[in-house]
Structure 1
Amino acid sequence: MKLSEYIEYDATGLASLVSAGEVTAEELTRLARQAHDEVNPRINAVIEFYEDAETVASADAGLFNGVPFLRKDIGASEAGRLQENGSRLFKGCRSDTDSYFFRRAREAGLRTLGRTTTPELGATVTTESILNGITRNPWDLERSTGGSSGGAAAAVAAGITPIAHGSDGGGSIRIPASWCGLVGLNPSRGRVSGGPNNQDTSFGRSREFVLCRTARDMAAALDVFSGPHPGDPFIILQPKRSYVEELSQSTGLLLVGVARTSWGAVALEPEVLHAVEATATLLQEMGHTVTDIEPPFEPIEYSRTYVASSTPSWLEEAARAMGRTIGADTLEPVSLKRYEYGRDLPLSRAWDLQEALRKMRFRVGEAIHPFDILLTPTMPTVAVPHGGIFSATNRTVSAEEAVEADTAICQYTGVFNVTGQPSVSLPLAQSASGLPIGIQIVGRFGDEATLVRVARDLEGAIPWRHRRPGVQAEGS
Structure 2
Amino acid sequence: MRLSEYVEYDATGLASLVTAGEMTAVELTHLARQAHDGVNPSINAVIEFYEDAESISSKNAGLFNGVPFFRKDVGASEAGRLQEKGSRLFKGYRSNIESYFFHRAREGGLRTLGRTATPEFATSGITESILNGITGNPWDLERSAGGSSGGAAAAVAAGITPIAHGNDGGGSIRVPAAWCGLVGLNPSRGRISGGPNQQDASLGCTREFVLCQTVRDAAAALDVFSGPHPGDPFIIVQPNRPYVEELSRPTGTLRVGVAKTKWGAINLDPEVQHAVESMATLLEEMGHVVIDIKPPYESIEYTRIMLAGLSFNASSREDAARAMRRTISAETLEPINLKLYEYSRNLQTRVGDVHEALRSMRLHVGEAIQDFDILLTPTMPMVALPHGSVYSTTNPTLSVEEWVEADAALYQYTGVFNVTGQPAVSLPLAQNASGLPIGIQIVGRFGDEATLVRVARDLEEARPWGHRRAKVRAGHTVCGSDLNARNSKSIASTPTRAGSPDARSFRVA
TM-score, reference length from structure 2 = 0.92
- Report the Cα distance in structure 2 between the residues aligned to 1:48 and 1:60, rounded to whole angstroms: 24
Specify the code of the residue in structure 1 equivalent to 2:143.
R
Q: CA deviation at 1:29?
A: 0.2
Q: Which has the higher contact order (CA 8 A, sep 6+)?
A: 2
Deviations 1:92-146 (A, max 9, x none): 0000000000000001110000000000000011000000000000000010111
CA contact (8 A) 2:124 2:393 kept: no
Q: CA deviation at 1:393?
A: 3.0
Deviations 1:3-57 (A, max 9, x none): 0000000000000000001111100000000000000000000000000111111
CA contact (8 A) 1:35 1:475 kept: no
Q: CA deviation at 1:325?
A: 1.0
Specify the code of the residue in structure 2 equivalent to 1:339.
Y
- Report the Cα distance in structure 2 between the residues aligned to 1:87 and 1:25, rounded to whole angstroms: 32
- Report the Cα distance in structure 1 between the residues aligned to 2:410 and 2:84, rounded to whole angstroms: 26
Match of 1:459 in 2: 460
Q: CA deviation at 1:392?
A: 4.0
* Paired positions, count: 475
The 3-state SS of whatever aligns with 2:155 is helix
Q: CA deviation at 1:285?
A: 0.4
Write out the 4+ residue segments of structure 1 that deviate beyond 6 Å after TM superposition: none
Match of 1:367 in 2: 368
Match of 2:416 in 1: 415
Match of 1:181 in 2: 181
CA contact (8 A) 1:89 1:324 kept: yes
Q: CA deviation at 1:391?
A: 3.3
Q: CA deviation at 1:327?
A: 1.0
Q: CA deviation at 1:347?
A: 4.1
Match of 1:333 in 2: 335
- Report the Cα distance in structure 2 between the residues aligned to 1:353 and 1:382, rounded to whole angstroms: 32
Alignment of 1:28-43 (within 5 A): 28-43=28-43
CA contact (8 A) 1:120 1:332 kept: yes
Match of 2:402 in 1: 401
Alignment of 1:98-113 (within 5 A): 98-113=98-113
- Report the Cα distance in structure 1 between the residues aligned to 2:352 and 2:141, rounded to whole angstroms: 43
- Report the Cα distance in structure 2 between the residues aligned to 1:296 and 1:173, rounded to whole angstroms: 22
- Report the Cα distance in structure 1 between the residues aligned to 2:65 and 2:315, rounded to whole angstroms: 41
State the Cα RMSD in Å: 0.8
Deviations 1:245-293 (A, max 9, x none): 1101110000000000000011100000000000000000000000000
- Report the Cα distance in structure 2 between the residues aligned to 1:28 and 1:81, rounded to whole angstroms: 22
Q: CA deviation at 1:374?
A: 0.2
CA contact (8 A) 2:124 2:392 kept: no
Match of 2:470 in 1: 469
Q: Which shows bigger deviation, 308-317 or 247-256? A: 308-317
The 3-state SS of whatever aligns with 1:308 is helix
Alignment of 1:52-451 (within 5 A): 52-310=52-310, 311=312, 312-348=314-350, 350-451=351-452
- Report the Cα distance in structure 1 between the residues aligned to 2:249 and 2:315, rounded to whole angstroms: 47
Q: CA deviation at 1:353?
A: 1.6
CA contact (8 A) 2:60 2:66 kept: yes
Specify the code of the residue in structure 1 equivalent to 2:76.
A
The 3-state SS of whatever aligns with 1:325 is coil
Q: CA deviation at 1:324?
A: 1.4
Deviations 1:355-397 (A, max 9, x none): 2111110000000000000000000000011113123432111
The 3-state SS of whatever aligns with 1:277 is helix
Match of 2:19 in 1: 19
Specify the code of the residue in structure 2 equivalent to 1:333.
P
Q: CA deviation at 1:475?
A: 5.8
Q: CA deviation at 1:226?
A: 0.2
CA contact (8 A) 1:2 1:475 kept: no
CA contact (8 A) 2:125 2:392 kept: no
Specify the code of the residue in structure 2 equivalent to 1:335.
N
Deviations 1:55-106 (A, max 9, x none): 1111121100000000000000000000000000000000000000000000
CA contact (8 A) 1:87 1:130 kept: yes
CA contact (8 A) 1:130 1:392 kept: no
Match of 2:491 in 1: none
- Report the Cα distance in structure 2 between the residues aligned to 1:354 and 1:107, rounded to whole angstroms: 35
Specify the code of the residue in structure 2 equivalent to 1:332.
E
- Report the Cα distance in structure 2 between the residues aligned to 1:150 and 1:285, rounded to whole angstroms: 34
- Report the Cα distance in structure 2 between the residues aligned to 1:201 and 1:317, rounded to whole angstroms: 17
Specify the code of the residue in structure 2 equivalent to 1:32.
A
Q: Which shows bigger deviation, 309-318 or 453-462? A: 309-318
The 3-state SS of whatever aligns with 1:309 is helix
Q: Which shows bigger deviation, 390-399 or 41-50? A: 390-399
- Report the Cα distance in structure 2 between the residues aligned to 1:143 and 1:342, rounded to whole angstroms: 31
- Report the Cα distance in structure 2 between the residues aligned to 1:390 and 1:445, rounded to whole angstroms: 30
TM-score, reference length from structure 1 = 0.99
- Report the Cα distance in structure 2 between the residues aligned to 1:433 and 1:224, rounded to whole angstroms: 37
Deviations 1:131-167 (A, max 9, x none): 0000000000010111100000000000000000000
- Report the Cα distance in structure 1 between the residues aligned to 2:98 and 2:182, rounded to whole angstroms: 27
Gaps of 5+ in 1: none
